[in-house]
Structure 1
Amino acid sequence: IMAVPGPSLFTLRDTSQKVVRYHHNRLVASPQTANAPPGGLQISVVPNQFMDPSHFPIIMGINGGTRCLSCGTSAQPTLMLEVSTHHWGVRPRAF
């Protein structure tokens, strides 16, 4: 099990340099404007200690960890929602 002192914090931008924001229960990319708060949404990132570490899986969280999205790398990077089943004694599975 990997132990980290705390999450790494990032601001996500798309290819057009729009910042990712949380708006009406959705993540959206919007231009940085004078009317918008600076920096966009802070994304917290920690290693996913319940999956194969050779694939470098991470957990990305927003809103202080109240919402999260788990993702990992493969031949083609794929972002998936995952259910955490570690407390059930079975391996986590993507859905």
Structure 2
Amino acid sequence: MKIAESALGNTSPVSSIVVYNDKARSYMFRSYAVKTMEPKLWYWEGIEGRQDAFVNQYSGEVLRIKKSEFEFFRVVMWLHWSLLLKTEIG
């Protein structure tokens, strides 16, 4: 986990880990950094960013860092849940 945290940077702590049953797939470390705790109207006003680090579970090599806050399915999910408004409103 320390390898993924250093690859993601100190501002984005690891918030979850995805481990697949398939041994050929890498581990995915997800990070989510909150920009501010103040109430905001728009979903993206309150987050610093979301990133995923893909790490080879055998060698510890960081295979890829992916910025995922504007990923298609994440946007669709937030549209479905709250019309992109913060949870207190939407």
- When the two structures are superposed, what TM-score results if normalisation uses the length of structure 1? 0.32
Structure showing the higher strand proportion among its residues: 1
Structure showing the higher helix proportion among its residues: 2
- When the two structures are superposed, what TM-score results if normalisation uses the length of structure 2? 0.33
